[in-house]
Amino acid sequence: MLQSEILDVFYLRIAANLPPGFPSGRLFTGSTAPQNEDIVLTPRIILTLLPATSAITTLGSDEVCRRREHGGTVFVAIHTPVQPGGDILGIQYAQHIQSLFQGRNTDAPLHYDNVAVRTTGRDGNAAFITNVVTLYRLESVN
């Protein structure tokens, strides 16, 4: 698996297990998110990948395979409408998504080190924003 494929794992798992009551067709990556929505009237989820680290974890020469560990963060930004209960709805959606990754160890060589729900609050009149922030490690051999 390559770091560029990590977002696919998140997208597919979330798409197959959308939170109850979440509208279909409202799951996006950063590059596919609607650009013309200044105000969120229907909840949406936007996924963003931030690769950050890479290190060789084995010794050897350039002629042998090397084990590497990559790391970074995946942000799952949940935008809910600015209306009564919209902030709580965002947290509920986030907790559902958190449960899809937290403690999961069957995705090796991809490992989730921390899956946290973080509320950033209200973005003016546009939306309530709640994030599921996942730190990951990816082991590779090449």
Domain residues of the chain, as ranges?
3-141
pLDDT at 103: 87
pTM of the entire predicted model = 0.89
pLDDT at 133: 97
Q: What is the pLDDT of residues 89-115, one digit of tens each?
A: 999 999 999 999 998 888 889 999 999
pLDDT at 66: 82
pLDDT at 56: 84
pLDDT at 62: 75
Percent of the chain with pLDDT over 70: 100
Token pair 């698996």 in the structure block, residue: 1
Higher-scoring residue by pLDDT: 8, 36: 8
Q: What is the pLDDT of residues 47-88, one digit of tens each?
A: 999 999 888 888 777 777 888 899 999 999 999 999 999 999
Q: How far apart are CA 134 and CA 142, in angstroms?
A: 25
Q: How far apart are CA 98 and CA 118, in angstroms?
A: 11
Percent of the chain with pLDDT over 90: 66
Q: Are 130 and 119 in contact (CB under 8 A)?
A: yes
Which CATH code, of 3.40.1710.10, 3.30.2000.10, 3.30.70.270, 3.40.50.920, is assigned to 3-141?
3.30.2000.10
Q: How confident is the model over 15-42, as a mean pLDDT? A: 92
